[in-house]
Amino acid sequence: MTDIDLDELRSELDDFALPEKASGSSAREQRIIAGFEEIERFVEQHGRRPEHGADRDIFERLYAVRLERLRASPECREVLKGRDSHGLLRTTHTTATGLVQEDVAEYHAGAAVEAVPSDDELLNVLRGEDGPGHDLTQLKHVRSREEIRAAEEVAQRNPCNDFDVFRPIFEAVQHELETGKRQTLKYKDNADVKNGDLFILDGQKVIVAEMGEPFVSDYGRPDRRLRVIYDNGTESDLLVRSLQRALNKDKASRRITEPNLGPLFSDVEAEGDLSSGLIYVLRSFSSHPFIAENRSVIHKIGVTGGDVGKRIANAKKDPTYLLADVEVMGFYKLVNINRTLLEAMIHKFFASARLDLELKDRFGGQVEPREWFLVPLPVIEEAIQKLREGKIGNYRYDPATAQIVKA
């Protein structure tokens, strides 16, 4: 039998030895490492990261919370440096949709974020302990549905690409507030929200620009998806109930009233009335294939304080008029009205039917007309009538049926 070299045997056994824990680690650091190793074992066993969800067991949900806390803490990441063999602590990772995703969005997208938890709180999370008197199944570090929904609403606010349509509305509303034509009233909790409504929320003016089809929520309550425009040039797709909650929460929220403008249109000017201009509707003689095919339902809707005939005299050279002659299909006199506001209101009402077409001007440049719409003439006249009656805010245009329907 060959003599055993003890030093050689010890060297071979060292290859199979478990790595020694870092010397000098505090009890807290050892708990952090142990908690992270539990998460790694879960990943190795299941081939994925732990996730939140009602269909996940309590331990997986706890591991998910624990992992997010570790990733959010620079101190913890430093303790675990060199141990992250699965890349679990990479801050650029986007988790699956759910509670964890909302937490990450808050940490990395600038939403309101909790401070890094205290030592005791973090240790409780890493141990999976909620302390005496708490139910283990109650994940105190997972936000409520209401908090998640609020964070979601903030995260979903995006730039408004057609803010040029709404800017004059906000400017006119501000002017009317300053001159007393409009007032602000305290918002009543859960009061109705309608298309076209204006509010002051968290110091910003907002307008309900669009309302989707009604549906029943998971809680059995009627709801609708809104398009809400803010006066800082952003927008958000909120639910009606989400907007109501935000207005309820803001103790300084206000509803902006409709202006008392008097008659919008008149065939006869009363003594003292100021004739402000005309709404005019045009049809194009363009030979563009799409325009020629749909000529009867393509119209330009504009507002002017000048002479319509002079405006369209050189239509064939002007991209505004599709570089072609036009005919006047109708015009409506305005009395004591803000032309800019009225034009913006009409264009917003028919925005879903705006003509999406690019033309080349006489210099070869690309132009995209903004005041032409795929709307039958009788529907335009119906919209103007509802404007006259002050009821336009209760309706919307449905491009699928080419009809004005209840909002």
pLDDT tens digits, 75-123 = 888 888 888 888 888 754 434 333 333 333 333 333 333 333 444 444 4
Q: What is the mean pLDDT of residues 295-316?
A: 89
How does residue 207 score in pLDDT terms, banded at 50, 70 and 90?
Answer: very high
Residue 61's H or E segment, with its range, is helix 58-72
List of long-range contacts for 250-253, beta carbons under 8 Å, 24+ apart: 250/201, 250/202, 252/200, 252/203, 253/186, 253/187, 253/199, 253/200, 253/201, 253/202
Contact predicate 322/299, CB 8 Å: no
Structure confidence by residue, pLDDT tens digits, 342-378 = 888 888 899 999 998 888 777 777 778 888 999 999 9
Asked if 149 and 218 count as a contact pair (C-beta separation under 8 A), the reply is: no
pLDDT at 126 over 70: no
**Cα 210 from Cα 405, distance rounded (Å):** 13
Q: Is the pTM above the cut of 0.85?
A: no
- Which pLDDT value is given to residue 380? 93
Q: What is the pLDDT of residues 134-189, one digit of tens each?
A: 443 344 445 455 555 554 444 367 899 989 889 999 998 888 888 777 888 888 87
In this model, does residue 42 exceed pLDDT 70?
yes
Contact between residue 244 and residue 193 where contact means Cβ atoms under 8 Å apart: yes
Calpha distance 161→90 (Å, rounded): 33
pLDDT in tens, 215-270: 887 777 888 889 999 999 999 988 898 899 889 988 889 999 876 544 455 445 54
Q: pLDDT at position 325, please?
A: 92
pLDDT at residue 91 in the model: 56
d(CA 183, CA 176): 8
Would you call 267 exposed, middle or buried from its count of C-beta atoms within 10 A (0-12, 13-18, 19+)?
Answer: exposed
Q: Residue 80: phi, psi to the nearest 5?
A: -95, 5
| Dihedral (Cα; 339, 344, 349, 353), 10-degree rounding | 120
Residue written as token pair 């205290």: 118
β-strand pairing of 275-284 with 254-256: unpaired
Could you identify the residue written with the tokens 């009867």?
296
How many other C-beta atoms are found inside a 10 Å radius of the C-beta of residue 319?
Answer: 16
| pLDDT tens digits for range 260-300 | 544 455 445 544 444 567 889 999 999 989 999 999 999 99
Asked whether residue 16 carries a pLDDT value surpassing 80, the answer given is no
How far are the Cα atoms of 52, 66, 106, 218, 290 from residue 143, in angstroms, in the given order? 11, 14, 12, 19, 53
pLDDT digits (tens, 9 = 90+) for 377-386: 999 999 988 8
- Name the least confident of 254-258, 320-324, 401-405: 254-258
Q: Give the per-residue pLDDT at 220.
A: 77
What is the pLDDT at residue 276?
63
